[in-house]
Structure 1
């Protein structure tokens, strides 16, 4: 009898133990949400069951964080008793998406510029080995990959001056300048896992971001610790492709850290096109107080990739997988090791005034054996960016003022040798290089009426290049040569009018400039083109956005007039050189339409969405004469006049999903004379898979997919105006991939 009474007492004590019971539901449909990760302020995370319910012991009020893929994260303070928490599905509705472009966090409908968002869902529609496919679904944006990890970004035709690498586009990573002060961006040092989402501003944005006529790419991967979580991914595919990732996140108080390691390798579709990249990232977030936050990032990259080189039409017809003759013997390739570290600090002086400051430093060890030479560079750089934001009133109308500055400098020891069978030979020339750029910016956003906003912005820009020649085997001039560009003032004026709660129009006039990079001034055969002028242009833009219910519509028309356009040509030795080529007229139309056919969290088909993006680039040269040839009126080299992308996304209740993409690219002129074109092509990609959670602790995804389903012959990045007709960089034929992802909560 005593044992029975004791057991009854213990059972009643257990049943009466204080609990915090939580039920999580969809805010729109009011249906329970399964597998929501709930992280308490104290204790271990749990997942909701099929009824959307879980419970934590205790009665003390504490903070709970809620996470579920496809839903906005939420934090709530809950105590003893039963609670219902509503999660809102991540909106693809333009009337609700918030972006941080132009340093002003506002809903997209209130932004007076052509901006597209590339989300984590966009990245996960493809094979996750590169950023190419996801960015190329957006109107006005094109990323080319001539060989694995050899990127080239074109925003509204900006890649005309980029024979290799990323130029004429400013790139930021977690609010830190990732573009070097000489104007180049080593985007291939980042793995796709280092990017959670991206915002692309199309057209000149120098009033806030400095040099770059193409636009700005803001990449974000902030540390977002969600308790204890370990993840592991593995993927394999054709052409010897393998990718492995291991990640861990840990919450520490109100902050925490995330770390990941990624190894990706590929033999490549073509001869001499293998790639091997190792990337380690460590990010930390620390909430010092209600007024202060600190974020840190460390990126260590080790990248090696081979360069197959361009082929002429006969070589492509003979064997598109071959490399340019000599590339194998000379080991044409790039080896690059880099360390990039940053720290960011946010301080809220009051409810109206705050400051955000980021500082960074980086090191870079670069080697590039090529057919004609062997380049070695060892560099160091540092810089930072700061901005103050004031939210107040002027004449009883809302006023936001943003002001700040940015400064960058880099020091590089650069040496060019002869190349004998892939080994550096006698030094040909050597330089100590210094690139510096800085600017101040100011911006005022004034709501003259509740639905009408005026933006006035201005920046003052300074930049210089120093080339101190130490060695010149040809007997050329030694010593310091400097090119200091005249200070440039870059204004921007924009209007935004909200027609109603779900649609609006905007217009803007913005100026831009882009000085030549060191690689354009100091070419591989040793000449110094210090007379190369900065490009300058002015852009006129008009746009309309609609985000209502299941429908999104984004339309933009623009006219960009560019003077002192920098174009490329190749000398008989195969060295890429640069020149100013008069001016260009760039008229364009960009349109994106998305529609959710089905959005129902209770049905078998949970989501079915379709979308289309159209880009019309009607760009021509004006006043462009080269020798006895007048190319005025010709189409701009390297730009497709018409691109159309269509998408379909399906998600079901059991966890099966399908992503289907079709991209049509019109023919592309490959030389200034418009006598050679790449043929139009259709590119079809698909990914299908299954994703579920188990036992409240495990998450599993298995997937497979195909790229270039139609087995098209095309180049994803051509050489422009090359010597010997070597225009083509053949892209992979039909190829398959598959993989698994596993996550464990501890």
Structure 2
């Protein structure tokens, strides 16, 4: 009897889990078309792994609820709870693996990249994080036609199909938007260095003038999109590296019933490779998205940035050979540096009136405290400003032709109190001059898009632009007089005509003719030695372009190639006086011809193999940019190469991902020699950069994600300048960049 009881107990222990467990059937389908997706990997929280069969199905015997991670190389990851004994259909969202799937909002119209009649590049979140995560520089430089420079940590310049001649420091002549907010100030400058990489998820870059809908600027447009919230989570990141690099981030994301809220704090510090090149940046960002109904959405953000970085200054070739880490004489003694505290508040509202009409409006306010002791002077500025943008969209029929009409406008205002002092050993001395500066700019735009056929799209656009600045000089120590001047630019009409034609579902041709203009910034008119140059004219240009896009092999190969001719009149260039102050002048005209090409292809793309992805990419730019009709002080620079522009730029990328979570990113960049002065008598040598990052990312549990990474910049240990001082007085052209250096980090994300 005892033996029988033991046998029955043993049978009960064996059979009970089988009796209470039940088979769960999971079917995985494409969210867009409902087709089954074979090869989906399902990782259950009990460590079980399942793979969907050719019908997109898998079966599991469950005795309680489990959480599963669904992953496939061509689809976005998805977490989902599975119940015992139920039949469940899981819908996955496809990733954008081909150009026909990439949707961009360039020129105010959300269309696939294959339909866009413009040279547009996109950087997604994964591409932004292929490098050391301290700046956007390396990621931006993987795109043909784009050159981002970092003369010292935190000191950025960007040129798109052009030169940094107008930007001895800072970002000018490129229009930048952040969450549809005009982030470029009305005077044409952009404080790009106050943003952290974590404040950006996706980036769109329009190459060439886009004034028909974005106003002033010949250098193109950059649009940043903040991160979207997908789940409740808390995260912490830590990175360290050579030259005292320390960066940490704390963040949280919370889904609400009809929206979400998020907040983050980031601090980045480094001592810098060169003497007197330290950086300390703190960024706090809080934002929210609300969806009151299916017709409208509201988003709002508050960004506070506290930035400080030291300016080591330019060196001569002899000084670089002696010690590339040294500063320009006087920079450390005079505490040459920038301290900038900025606050931005934004509000964006979208509303669909009906199935035809919609509106998107955005407003912002901002304040900035700016302090800049320099070798020759000491500058203090306090600024406040506000602005906004609104766009109405109509989708309708014009007879048998689908039509999209866009009308809207943008307005910005800023008021700056600016004082320039003498610099006495790093302290502000006697005031030299003090000004109140008021800058306003605005424009109206209208654009019509007509589908003449199923595969032919025409775009016709026009903007009317207005700008002015007022300078009220309260103190002028050299004359003892106070006075006021103003500069009002005549209204500028900026047109654009473009066509795109699909050859087949996988390839398209486009062509465009677009105008642009760029008035001088207030810093170019009002210079650091106190002069006011009201004779400086706005740059005006027109761009002609044709291009081809195609994807082949189910999105495994993507090709984007274009050629352009940009004729720019009244080109603004720099020169330096004997005191070392940078001044500006118009230089006649420039002819800018170029070819740009980008190709990406996947050698391996498999969701079931250990090596899930092996992807290569190449980007090439050929820029034949010349001065035309440029004579100054008896010197004829006509026919010379445009200062600061390399003729050839080649980028090669390799990305490798494994099913176990290991990844490798390698990037090689070749930059040909480039002229450092208008006379083309001094050149920077060509150089090769090789960067590498290796890491592992995965899920330690159904709630905890971990990433560990390490990398090397300048693996070949090249000596180069990532941003030179152009037309520098005394031969101080060079800002040496760091040799081979290393970094590493860890990221933890906990879902709750």
Q: TM-score, normalised by structure 2?
A: 0.92
Query: In the alignment, which of 531, 534, 537 is matched to residue 530 of structure 1?
Result: 534
> Alignment length, in residue pairs?
724
Secondary structure at the aligned position of 1:621 is classed as: strand
Find out whether 1:562 has 2:568 as its counterpart.
Answer: yes
Query: In the alignment, which of 157, 161, 168 is matched to residue 166 of structure 2?
Result: 161
Query: In the alignment, which of 310, 317, 320 is matched to residue 314 of structure 2?
Result: 310
1:509-533 superposed Cα distances (whole Å, 9 cap, x missing partner) = 0000000001101100111011110
Give matches, 1:181-196, under 5 Å.
Answer: 181-196=186-201
1:261-303 superposed Cα distances (whole Å, 9 cap, x missing partner) = 1110000000110000000111211001111110011111000
Secondary structure at the aligned position of 2:678 is classed as: coil
Give matches, 1:67-86, under 5 Å.
Answer: 71-72=75-76, 81-86=86-91
Secondary structure at the aligned position of 1:208 is classed as: helix
CA distance in 2, matches of 1:445, 1:392: 10
Residue 56 to residue 526, structure 1, CA distance change in 2 (3 Å): farther
Find out whether 1:237 has 2:234 as its counterpart.
Answer: no
Displacement of 1:654: 1.2
CA distance in 1, matches of 2:340, 2:530: 22
1:458-498 superposed Cα distances (whole Å, 9 cap, x missing partner) = 00000001110000110164222110000000000001110
Partner residue, 1:61: none
Give matches, 1:614-693, under 5 Å.
Answer: 614-693=620-699
1:110-156 superposed Cα distances (whole Å, 9 cap, x missing partner) = 00000000111111110010000000000000100000010000101
1:589-647 superposed Cα distances (whole Å, 9 cap, x missing partner) = 00011110000010010000001100001000000001111000000000000000001
Query: In the alignment, which of 727, 739, 743 is matched to residue 733 of structure 2?
Result: 727
Secondary structure at the aligned position of 1:330 is classed as: coil
Find out whether 1:519 has 2:518 as its counterpart.
Answer: no
Query: In the alignment, which of 40, 48, 64 is matched to residue 32 of structure 1?
Result: 40
Residue 49 to residue 75, structure 1, CA distance change in 2 (3 Å): closer
Give matches, 1:84-483, under 5 Å.
Answer: 84-222=89-227, 224-475=228-479, 477-483=481-487
Partner residue, 1:578: 584
2:245 and 2:269 in contact (8 A); partners too: yes
Secondary structure at the aligned position of 1:160 is classed as: coil
Partner residue, 2:512: 508
Residue 478 to residue 246, structure 1, CA distance change in 2 (3 Å): same
Partner residue, 1:51: 50
1:405 and 1:441 in contact (8 A); partners too: yes
Displacement of 1:35: 5.8
Secondary structure at the aligned position of 1:297 is classed as: strand
CA distance in 2, matches of 1:616, 1:298: 41
CA distance in 2, matches of 1:47, 1:107: 41
CA distance in 1, matches of 2:356, 2:76: 26
Secondary structure at the aligned position of 2:164 is classed as: helix
155-164 or 564-573, larger mean C-alpha shift = 155-164
2:73 and 2:605 in contact (8 A); partners too: no
Residue 335 to residue 203, structure 1, CA distance change in 2 (3 Å): same
1:362 and 1:382 in contact (8 A); partners too: yes
Displacement of 1:419: 0.5
CA distance in 2, matches of 1:176, 1:48: 45
Partner residue, 1:43: none
Displacement of 1:310: 0.2
CA distance in 1, matches of 2:715, 2:297: 47
Residue 225 to residue 88, structure 1, CA distance change in 2 (3 Å): closer
Secondary structure at the aligned position of 2:49 is classed as: coil
Find out whether 1:595 has 2:594 as its counterpart.
Answer: no
Unaligned runs of 5+ in 1: 37-45, 59-63
Secondary structure at the aligned position of 1:159 is classed as: coil
Residue 525 to residue 35, structure 1, CA distance change in 2 (3 Å): farther
26-35 or 589-598, larger mean C-alpha shift = 26-35
Displacement of 1:730: 0.3
Residue 511 to residue 476, structure 1, CA distance change in 2 (3 Å): farther
CA distance in 1, matches of 2:509, 2:79: 34
1:305 and 1:334 in contact (8 A); partners too: yes
CA distance in 2, matches of 1:605, 1:168: 44
1:229 and 1:743 in contact (8 A); partners too: yes
Displacement of 1:57: 9.3
Partner residue, 1:545: 549
Q: TM-score, normalised by structure 1?
A: 0.93
1:191 and 1:279 in contact (8 A); partners too: yes
Displacement of 1:197: 1.0
CA distance in 1, matches of 2:251, 2:152: 27
Displacement of 1:547: 1.4
CA distance in 2, matches of 1:458, 1:78: 54
Unaligned runs of 5+ in 2: 52-57
1:532-569 superposed Cα distances (whole Å, 9 cap, x missing partner) = 10000000000000112211110010000000000001
